[in-house]
Amino acid sequence: MEEAKFISMVGGDGEFSYQRMGVLQAHANRRLQPLMAEAVKHIRLPEQGPLHIADFGCSTGRNSISYMNFIVKCIPDRYVEAGENNGHVTCMPEMLVSFNDLPGNDFNTLIQLLESEAKNAKDLATSINGADVGRASSYFSAMVGGSFYNRLLPKETIHLAISIFCLHWMSQIPGTVTDKSSPLYNKGRSWILGGNPTIAREFAQQSMLDLDNFLDSRAAEMVPGGIVFASFVSRHDAANPENQVNAERQHRLSLGPDFENAWNDLIDDGVITTETRDTFNLRIYCRSKEEVEAAIIECGAFDIQYLQSPVDDNLCPEDELMHMLQFPKSFATFVSAWVRAIFGPTIEAYMGRHNTDEFFIRYQRHITARATSLLSDCKAQQEYKIFRLTLLHVVLKRKVFSTSSNQ
């Protein structure tokens, strides 16, 4: 499997860094907390050794640290419950958190944030039935570089695996869609949204192979009874993968027409060739609930604890979005920086820093024009859900007994 080594968020703390621009994801993460807390209740507690949590796709860390701190604070309640059920004090072990992302990720920023957190943390002692079990907010940490579509950690060592806003990324683009001689050459587009259904099915096949590899890898790494909690971008239309979002929403998507038109502008202005655009494809595929459920059943190593239908979620509160839309230029600056924090490294690795700068100048112009056109239409502003995502939340429990093929 070819790893997408250049896929990473913008590192550091600069203007386009994920550190600064991940605020919308942080808003969504807070709404995941009740589901995270529920997932913790299902963890099978270790009889000895550390309790091991792994975050697959941690990025530069601020959001990851935030929800990891929340999870760690939920752990003592799980031990209180276990102690009450067993009729004796259950001692909480030390905790280890493995932060995983691709080797190109800015782990340095993550490490610095963890160090800052440790220095500022209060020394809060937690007790269970009077027994001191240490600091509830503390855990040991490790950095693990590599694709989460591969095995990364030792067999049967993870008690809780987390993956937030990551599993829609693909490990690679199908070769047929970038081959000019192929009938599946994705000409005229940088993504599959609203495009050729046959090409979209090529993405679907690669995406399902990726998900199979993710599940098989976690099946080997999870302890029996271990929990996997994942939340990722999904879609409603199970039958038509080219409809990565509902047809009526495609023009309002941050990766919709304004994104594609920025590529067209580069071609029209002679900055890049048509071939440069046509051989670039976003490594994103939004799976349907049916595709995910089929992969879980095929893997056979997990029981489904929770798998709801995809839900639409606004990353930005509506009142804040409406306020931002009153200032088209500043709104477009924010949208462009947000998209660049996520996709900038992928585009830059493909066509260089200068062309990437030019791309986002044009993308920002299109967003400015669209926001300006909405100024006199309050209803259109309310319908402009550019930060709306369709998310699928999954909680899986590693079967205590499974076939050797899943080991």
Say whether pLDDT at 124 is over 60: no
Co-location of 229 and 378 in the same domain:
no
Shared domain check, 165 and 104 = yes
Residues belonging to the chain: 407
- The H or E element that residue 79 is part of is helix 62-86
> Does 219 share its domain with 333?
no
Q: Are residues 42 and 97 in the same domain?
A: yes
Is residue 178 located within the same domain as residue 274? Answer: no
State the total domains in the chain: 2
pLDDT at 86: 62
More confident residue, 7 or 155: 155
| More confident site: 253 or 23 | 253
Top pLDDT among 136 and 190 is at: 190
Residue 3 — pLDDT band, cuts 50, 70, 90?
Answer: very low
263 and 179 share a domain?
no
Scan for tokens 């072990």, then name that residue.
93
> In the prediction, which pLDDT does 130 show?
43
What's 269's domain CATH number? 1.10.1200.220
Q: Are 267 and 302 in the same domain?
A: no
Distances (CA, A) of 178 to 78, 255, 271, 284: 50, 19, 20, 15
The enclosing domain of 123 has a CATH number of: 3.40.50.150
Can you tell me the mean pLDDT for 251-262? 89
Of 95-109, 131-145, 251-265, 337-351, give the lowest mean pLDDT range.
Answer: 131-145
Answer yes or no: do 311 and 371 share one domain: no
Residue 222 has pLDDT above 80, yes or no: yes
Q: What is the pLDDT of residue 121?
A: 58
The answer on 294 and 366 residing in a single domain is no
DSSP state of 247: G
Query: For residue 341, which amino acid is it?
Result: A
Question: Each residue of 349-400: pLDDT tens digit?
Answer: 899 999 999 999 999 999 999 999 999 999 999 889 888 889 999 999 999 8
At residue 249, the pLDDT reads 77
Residue 57 has pLDDT above 80, yes or no: yes
Shared domain for 137 and 7, answered yes or no, is yes
Classify residue 310 by its DSSP letter.
Answer: P
229 and 194 housed in the same domain: yes
Question: pLDDT at residue 406 above 50?
Answer: no
* Residues 100 and 233 occupy one common structural domain: yes
Q: 368 lies in which domain range?
A: 245-282+316-386
Looking at residue 183, its pLDDT comes to 94
pLDDT tens profile 260-315: 999 999 999 999 999 999 999 999 999 999 999 999 999 999 999 999 899 998 88
Other C-beta atoms lying within 10 Å of the C-beta of residue 139: 21
- CA dist 277 and 270 (Å) reads 12
Task: Evaluate if residue 19 carries a pLDDT over 90.
Answer: no
Model confidence pLDDT, tens digit, residues 60-107: 878 888 889 999 989 988 888 776 566 554 677 889 999 999 998 889
Among positive and negative, which fits the CA dihedral 203, 233, 23, 161?
negative
Instruction: Say yes or no to pLDDT of 405 above 70.
Output: no
Highest mean pLDDT among 16-20, 83-87, 152-156: 152-156
The pLDDT tens digits of the residues spanning 185-215 come to: 999 999 999 999 999 999 999 999 999 999 9
Measured between alpha carbons, how far is 254 from 387 in angstroms, rounded to an integer? 7
Query: Considering the chain, what is the average pLDDT of its residues?
Result: 86
Helical segments of 269-327, H only: 274-278, 289-299, 318-324
Q: Does residue 14 surpass a pLDDT of 90?
A: no
| Residue 257 · residue 250 · CB < 8 Å | yes
